[in-house]
Structure 1
């Protein structure tokens, strides 16, 4: 998901900016804090008893030579700069990223082996443990030991980790909330003397021209619209058919994945996909491509004319765009904002303002140490170091105080930031004092040849963007039926899209009825009650 596009970036500290600039990372005036230490109460005599802290660390199975998950520049940096000054023994507990939720469930059930700090991107997992009493409530701990955390995140982000007005998780701050972007083969448009589409109707006409005239000379294998059964491909279409709604209507009509499936526009969006499929304008095998592997291969081989993706994923070194240029040197992709709703708006969902949920299990005896550790991350240059490495070795600052990765580093220096995205857990992306500067810093993480396109993508991805409405209390039915309904939603989209046009209504209505009876109605009822409760507070 979304995680790949942000995990490599850090929060820039005050000391790295020009004098007078304000950033979201707060520096303490205390000399120990400026040196990268948490404030420690003065000792009354005998040395304080050593504390302990176990921190979950995701294992992605990709450590470079000479480095392990638990023995790297960054793990040792934490032990030397946080552990020793605070007399805290820090231990990192590796958990396979691919198994993080099941493994977390096992750890939480053990009570004895569970780390003091655990992490997940899964909102349902956080909600489950918050409602079941499995987490330490940290409202007062944050006030006492986490002032820099609170300053960094702010009340909006912190509210995402609350349950019944109390803080049970510390959410990471997301720098970029743009979620999806669309791209078109500019060289195909040029060959057909066509303009880039700016509306859904214009896009449809361009897709027909791609199919009929095959400007890429694919020998009849052209795929005008690249599609998979992954949200990045179908959600942009769905949202362009959702009508104007009040916050109440949108909240009550929303189901899993934050899609207002109960709005009539959802059915019309799938009807449009049915039209594209039956006219041969989209990937014929999309239903079997949940991991986007077939779609990515088709794009790389130059067969796809238009597609949507998770914002900037195609621009990474050795990514999809590089593969396309290698296979078809004349190929040129350009970002477009083509999908429009009936009001002419480029409606699209925005990502949640938070990234992962950072939690302290109820069984932990080291909650104070855990909050102190998070506050240390938010202090001085620590988060920047975790995610960017060492100034002068891994990055330099440009004239505007924005860090840029140094090219052609040797492997040993590169290893400084190994697992940085999983160590600097308080931020998903480089967060500066303004969104403009944040965007500028984000752009610098991509090859120079793509930076102008990344800038366009960041703009398009938030144009007419729709924020999620966060319920102050978990929707229990979503936790209970979420897995079942995710599968049923996918099945509905697939079967209704692939139905014969004259069978579309009956197939869609039947599938929707099955979806609602499998938990969808329970979610709708609970969301209606939750909205009413929200208005009384």
Structure 2
């Protein structure tokens, strides 16, 4: 793929499957629906719960410090896109923007709107146990009767994640493809080296060695805590993350309990360190330095969400004319495995206050079901015809691409925050606007669709995690105790052969309790989610 100037991907107020504060620096993921890119269908009446009377409801959206657009509005009820959405759907929304950290205060004060939107699903800490406490109404009967499109399109794994004691409580933003990450490579460097794209770990090391000979400063771009730099760990299927548990001899254990493959992975990474294929200071490379190196042309291979391709193409075109970047299948290990972890299938969900009148609840469900329509997809993706986009006689969309931070924030509010109950895998309408976007679509359909690592997750989290913070994994960062040993071993300050001792240390410091609870919950099917395709 040539390094052509690419449009920026829609900046979303909520990054799919990624709750880290790094989202803004990394380039927020598109959250628009994966819908057919035809003309918008349906009418306001079809989207309207009651054609003769507007649906009036209050709703709260979670925000972070990065959501500048919402914070700049004195009254969100009068905000431009809320007003346009109200007109389109015959609704009267009363929206509020609540910072994630302050949501528990809302529940404590019992001042709860009709609809509450929360990141990450039922077990998200911002909900403060509200689902379990009975604050929201069960929705399965309403969904079956009034939301046929949602019931058809939302993966069962997403419904499972929004289910508590047999009842569905949340209507999710979901991922139809749980594999988000990809292996990026500078193909101009590959061509200079005269090598094909690597297929195995050994091939991968040889490519990195060739890049080093070409003078590439960071043949493989690492990052602190092995975050977004886990391609080798994936090849040996020992990712130490939150939803990467597996059943071994009747027990549910973290994948890093596989000492043989963990040692092979660490040995490979130590080879990369010893040969200068990764930076000597890899353990302290923060998100800003990580992206600075990639965008500045000093990285040969790196790992990142596939949706970030337009960012890399645009910035590399500026910093390194003639550069080419591609997404390739991740190198596989000796067992034929490769790629990155599967994300949990829910990125955000909407909950309905149990005090809401039954008729209003029906209308809210109809409103959420409308989010699956082409009409909704066009609105949240492009805005209003004649304002932010026009259409040629042949139906081609001419979209006014946001350029300033303020414009990008506004687009993220409309196409991310306000767009509920949709597929956040990628925004095909938006990606179809240029060749780079189409390349991303193809990569999702042909590369990412064929790799990735399933695992077992627990929602809500294992209670033992709260007791042992150093043993608690994050979505894409291993437990501190484990990461600390990994760093020491790659640096040569601790023998890699000591990994069985690391497992015993983990177990003795609370890991046995974690494994016991995980096994019991798995056997009892208590909040267990198989994170798979």
- The two structures share one fold, judged by TM-score above 0.5: yes
Give the whole-Å Cα distance in 1 for the aligned partners of 2:153 and 2:508. 43
Give the whole-Å Cα distance in 2 for the aligned partners of 1:120 and 1:267. 36
Residue 297 of structure 2: aligned partner: 302
Name the Cα RMSD after superposition. 4.3
Deviation at 1:423, TM superposition (A): 0.5
Residue 139 of structure 2: aligned partner: 138
Pair member with larger Rg: 1
Deviation at 1:398, TM superposition (A): 9.8
Deviates more, 1:198-207 or 1:107-116: 107-116
1:420-445 deviations in whole A, cap 9, x for unaligned? Answer: 21101211437xxxxxxx88546425
Residue 123 of structure 2: aligned partner: 124
Deviation at 1:408, TM superposition (A): 5.6
Residue 463 of structure 1: aligned partner: 450
324, 330, 334: which one pairs with 1:332? 324
1:424-478 deviations in whole A, cap 9, x for unaligned? Answer: 1211437xxxxxxx88546425x42463365235522221333454668764434
Residue 93 of structure 1: aligned partner: 96
Matched, 1:492 2:482: yes
2:326 alignment partner, SS class: strand
Residue 226 of structure 1: aligned partner: 221
Give the whole-Å Cα distance in 1 for the aligned partners of 2:293 and 2:263. 28
Deviation at 1:141, TM superposition (A): 3.9
Residue 280 of structure 2: aligned partner: 284
The answer as to whether partners of 1:394 and 1:409 remain within 8 angstroms in 2 is: no
The answer as to whether partners of 1:146 and 1:372 remain within 8 angstroms in 2 is: no
Give the whole-Å Cα distance in 2 for the aligned partners of 1:309 and 1:239. 13
The answer as to whether partners of 2:58 and 2:94 remain within 8 angstroms in 1 is: yes
Residue 335 of structure 2: aligned partner: 343
Matched, 1:63 2:69: yes
The answer as to whether partners of 1:137 and 1:168 remain within 8 angstroms in 2 is: yes
1:302 alignment partner, SS class: coil
Cα pair distance change 1:90/1:478, threshold 3 Å: same
Cα pair distance change 1:295/1:247, threshold 3 Å: closer
Residue 235 of structure 1: aligned partner: 230
Cα pair distance change 1:375/1:57, threshold 3 Å: farther
Deviation at 1:81, TM superposition (A): 4.6
Residue 21 of structure 2: aligned partner: none
Residue 385 of structure 1: aligned partner: 379
Residue 38 of structure 1: aligned partner: 49
Deviation at 1:92, TM superposition (A): 0.7
The answer as to whether partners of 2:173 and 2:424 remain within 8 angstroms in 1 is: no
Q: Which structure 2 residues correspond to residues 468-487 of structure 1 after superposition, within 5 A?
A: 468-469=455-456, 475-478=462-465, 481=468, 485-486=472-473
Matched, 1:54 2:59: yes
Give the whole-Å Cα distance in 1 for the aligned partners of 2:411 and 2:268. 49
Give the whole-Å Cα distance in 1 for the aligned partners of 2:32 and 2:498. 45
The answer as to whether partners of 1:52 and 1:366 remain within 8 angstroms in 2 is: no
1:124 alignment partner, SS class: coil
1:365-386 deviations in whole A, cap 9, x for unaligned? Answer: 4676356324214225235423
Q: Which structure 2 residues correspond to residues 159-174 of structure 1 after superposition, within 5 A?
A: 159-174=160-175
The answer as to whether partners of 1:130 and 1:168 remain within 8 angstroms in 2 is: yes
The answer as to whether partners of 1:184 and 1:333 remain within 8 angstroms in 2 is: yes
Give the whole-Å Cα distance in 2 for the aligned partners of 1:508 and 1:356. 37
Deviation at 1:143, TM superposition (A): 4.1
1:181-228 deviations in whole A, cap 9, x for unaligned? Answer: 1122222222222222111101111212222x1344xxxxx1111011
Give the whole-Å Cα distance in 1 for the aligned partners of 2:214 and 2:253. 39
Cα pair distance change 1:146/1:462, threshold 3 Å: closer
Residue 82 of structure 2: aligned partner: 75
Give the whole-Å Cα distance in 1 for the aligned partners of 2:392 and 2:153. 23
Cα pair distance change 1:156/1:177, threshold 3 Å: closer
Give the whole-Å Cα distance in 1 for the aligned partners of 2:430 and 2:263. 36
Give the whole-Å Cα distance in 1 for the aligned partners of 2:155 and 2:436. 35
The answer as to whether partners of 2:209 and 2:277 remain within 8 angstroms in 1 is: yes
User: What is the number of equivalent residue pairs in this alignment?
Assistant: 486
Give the whole-Å Cα distance in 1 for the aligned partners of 2:382 and 2:455. 30
Cα pair distance change 1:281/1:515, threshold 3 Å: same
Q: Extract unaligned runs of 5+ from structure 2.
A: 1-14, 19-26, 239-243, 529-533
TM-score normalized by structure 2? 0.76
Residue 10 of structure 1: aligned partner: 33
Give the whole-Å Cα distance in 1 for the aligned partners of 2:264 and 2:103. 40
Deviation at 1:490, TM superposition (A): 4.1
Deviation at 1:82, TM superposition (A): 4.6
Give the whole-Å Cα distance in 2 for the aligned partners of 1:459 and 1:69. 44
Cα pair distance change 1:63/1:359, threshold 3 Å: same
Cα pair distance change 1:252/1:482, threshold 3 Å: farther
The answer as to whether partners of 2:471 and 2:480 remain within 8 angstroms in 1 is: no
296, 314, 317: which one pairs with 1:322? 314
1:419 alignment partner, SS class: helix
Residue 214 of structure 1: aligned partner: 214
Deviation at 1:281, TM superposition (A): 1.5
Residue 11 of structure 2: aligned partner: none
Give the whole-Å Cα distance in 2 for the aligned partners of 1:406 and 1:514. 56
Give the whole-Å Cα distance in 1 for the aligned partners of 2:431 and 2:337. 26
1:375-423 deviations in whole A, cap 9, x for unaligned? Answer: 214225235423432346545789999x856246899999677432110
Residue 434 of structure 1: aligned partner: none
Give the whole-Å Cα distance in 1 for the aligned partners of 2:337 and 2:411. 45
Deviation at 1:139, TM superposition (A): 2.8
372, 375, 383: which one pairs with 2:366? 375
1:208 alignment partner, SS class: helix
Per residue, is there more helix in 1 or in 2? 1
Give the whole-Å Cα distance in 2 for the aligned partners of 1:13 and 1:197. 34
Residue 187 of structure 1: aligned partner: 188
260, 266, 282: which one pairs with 2:262? 266
The answer as to whether partners of 2:143 and 2:365 remain within 8 angstroms in 1 is: no
Give the whole-Å Cα distance in 2 for the aligned partners of 1:79 and 1:206. 54
1:268 alignment partner, SS class: helix
Q: Which structure 2 residues correspond to residues 21-32 of structure 1 after superposition, within 5 A?
A: none
